[in-house]
Structures are given as C-alpha cells and as structure tokens.
Amino acid sequence: MVSRLVPTHIAAIDPYPPGKPIEELERELGITNSIKLASNENPLGPSPKAVAAIREKLGGLHRYPDGSGYYLRRRIAEKLKVPMEGVVLGNGSNEIIELVIRTFIRPGLEVVIPNPSFLVYQLAVQTVGGTVVSVPLKDFAIDLEGILGAITDRTRLIFVNNPNNPTGTVLSEEAFRNFFQKLPSDVVVVIDEAYIEFAPKGSTFDGLDFVSTQGPWVVTTRTFSKAYGLAGLRIGYGVMDPQLASFLHRVRQPFNVGTLAQTAALAALDDDEFLEKSRAVVHEGLKFLYQGLESLGVPYLRTSTNFFLIAVPVDAKKVYEAMLREGVIIRAMNAYGLDRYVRVNVGLPEENERFLRTFAKVLEQLQP
C-alpha cells in the first residue's frame, strides 16, 4: 500500500543522518560531561545581545511574527548596502536553499552540485523530483571547470559552497570571476556563505559582488547559526535580485521566521564584539589543533572556516564511536564518501585540549 502511495523519488532519498540529543547519548553510554564538536556550532554560545533582546519579547508570543521581517531585512540591507527588496529571510539558510529549489526545479530539470558538499542541497532537489548532477571535488576544492562541463540546457541551478562544508576550502576571487563569465545567462548560482565570516580576510571573494539584476542570477545565502551562535533559533537569509526574491516570496510560508528568531538576529547583527570574539576563538583554536595534530603525526586539511577534516588510519566510523565512548562527539565522514576522514569543529581552548588528548588515545587503541 505504502509503496503505491509514496513517489519513487521520495522513497529513494537517503535521510539526513540525525544525531541523538546529547543527554540521551550520555544516558545510553553511562557518561557525563561530553563535548560536541560535530555540528560546527559556536563554542562561545549565543550572542549575549541576542539573548537579552529575546527576553524583552517573550510576553508577545501570542502574536504571529512580522511576516515581512521588516526590521531585520532593513538592517541587513543597510549593513550590506543592498536593496531591502532583495533580502529574503528563512527558517535557517536551509530554508532559502529549499525555496530556491522549489521555485526553479521540477522533474526533468538539473541541479549541478559539487561532491562532497552540504548534503542538504541534494536532499532538497530529490524532494521535488529534480536531477542531481554531481561534480567531484578536485584536491578537496570545488572544481569550477568541472561544473562548467556539467551544464546542459536542462540546468537551472548551480550550488557553490564557499567555504565548502566539509572540506573547508575557499575559491579565489579570480577563479570565481573567470568561471562566472563563462556561465550561460539563464542559470541561477546559489553561493552558500554559511561560514564566510571565518574565512581569513582577502582569502576569497564576496558573493554579494556577483548579485545583479541580469543573468546569470546569483543568490548568496548566509546564516546566524554559526558565527552569531543562533543555530537553535533557525534563522538565515538570502540576498538576490529583487525580482528573483519576489518569486521566493510566493513559495514561502507567510510566517516562516519566528518572532524570537527575528529579534535575536537583529540584535546579533550589530554585536560586532561577539563576532570578533567568535573569529578569534576559531583562529586561535585552529593554530592549537594544527600544532597538536602535527606533533601526533596525523594528516589534516587546512581550513578557511571553523571546522576541518582529519585523516584517520581506520574506518572513520570506528574513530567516531571510540571518541563518543570517551565523551567527545565528532563527525565521521562516511556519509560524504570520505571513509577515512573525520570532521571536527573548533571548540573552546579546554575542549580543543580534550579533543587532542582523547584523539591521541583513541588512535593508539585503533592502530591497525
């Protein structure tokens, strides 16, 4: 019965691997005080200004949110020097990705996606019955030439994740400009900049420089989940040509972003001190982790963001499980086709130390 009801393109989806709540994992394993370095979250917690702003709004929760996101969109537009009509808010930048896909893709149309990259792109395309055209990374970085070669007259969308999750690589401005000039004018390029705040200054391009009213159309997506520490609230945004935005508005729910999310994001956006601190904790943490891994003789990939890949000598799942039993949660990259890599995000100094200590112990246990 079910098999007749469920369309084959839905049944074929590999679900996004959800983690259990930390409390439940701890209960099952009989451990306490575990640390999570698996979801690229901000180790400093949320922006304190965001938390204070939310408190003021709790008494108004019986009201629907502002469905136009007026104040937040206006402030984002001011800060980025873009027209407010081109800013679309989402329930996480995930929702912007979904909106773009639901707006442009139907069965028979193609989306070019680097691989491995963020798993959500492919899941969202499969949901609407579109065709995923995978382009393998080259030396762990997005292969722009490969993407150009994969474009057909059925291509409507191209995803570029800069910096790329899970490899942490960025594209140079020159490489992207060169690529952009060769694109056909009737495609949309989504530049996912979820981690752009962490990229070292001058190391890469700003997706906003490519947003224009003519094709190829560009949508840049950004989030409050990472550098601003608001992952639990679910808020992100896209910047695009206002005409393109008008199509996304037709597709989205009228009240897609909650009041607390809008309020927190507005306060966080002007919390420069917190943003600077977040960058500093990542850059200092990376230096420490790189050094530690070098002294262990463990190969890793240098990153432009708050997480990085570490090569392991055995199946990554085994390393993940052994680390978990010690209370250190990291991510095995098997689902990304990288069976000999784990992904770890930078934590607080004491978390980074604990990670290194535990990792050294686990590798010694698992040595083939």
**Among 34, 42, 47, 94, which residue interacts with ligand PLP (rule: CB under 6 A)?**
94
* 285 vs 292, beta carbon nearer ligand PLP: 285
| Exposure of 28 in the CB half-sphere (CA atoms within 13 A) | 9
d(CA 140, CA 303): 11
**Among 100, 115, 159, 192, which residue interacts with ligand PLP (rule: CB under 6 A)?**
192
- Least Cβ distance, residue 316 to ligand PLP (angstroms): 18
Task: Report helix, strand and coil shares of the chain as percent, to nearest 5.
Answer: 45, 15, 40
How many degrees, rounded to 5, is the angle at CA 46 between CA 231 and CA 72? 70
**Among 225, 263, 278, 304, which residue interacts with ligand PLP (rule: CB under 6 A)?**
225
Tell me 90's DSSP state.
Answer: E
* 34 vs 40, beta carbon nearer ligand PLP: 40
* 240 vs 362, beta carbon nearer ligand PLP: 240
d(CA 344, CA 307): 5
- Least Cβ distance, residue 40 to ligand PLP (angstroms): 6
What are the structure tokens assigned to 341, written together? 């890599």
Q: Under the criterion CB under 6 A, does residue 92 sit at the interface with ligand PLP? A: yes
**Among 122, 126, 161, 220, which residue interacts with ligand PLP (rule: CB under 6 A)?**
161
- Locate tokens 């996304």: which residue? 248
Tell me 241's DSSP state.
Answer: -
Positions in 27-56 near ligand PLP (CB under 6 A): 40
d(CA 137, CA 150): 13
* 192 vs 241, beta carbon nearer ligand PLP: 192
- Least Cβ distance, residue 230 to ligand PLP (angstroms): 9
Q: Under the criterion CB under 6 A, does residue 118 sit at the interface with ligand PLP? A: yes
* 210 vs 315, beta carbon nearer ligand PLP: 210
Query: What residue number has its CB nearest to ligand PLP?
Result: 92
Q: Under the criterion CB under 6 A, does residue 305 sit at the interface with ligand PLP? A: no
Q: Under the criterion CB under 6 A, does residue 223 sit at the interface with ligand PLP? A: yes
Q: Under the criterion CB under 6 A, does residue 231 sit at the interface with ligand PLP? A: yes
357 φ, ψ (degrees, to nearest 5): -60, -50
- Least Cβ distance, residue 272 to ligand PLP (angstroms): 20
Q: At what angle do helices 349-366 and 272-296 cross, to 10 degrees?
A: 30
- Least Cβ distance, residue 255 to ligand PLP (angstroms): 17
What are the structure tokens assigned to 147, written together? 């993407």
- Locate tokens 């992207």: which residue? 176
| Residue among 214, 221, 206, 220 nearest 243 (CA) | 214
d(CA 157, CA 217): 9
- Least Cβ distance, residue 192 to ligand PLP (angstroms): 5
**Where do contacts with ligand PLP occur on this chain (CB under 6 A)?**
40, 92-94, 118, 161, 165, 192, 194, 223, 225-226, 231, 236
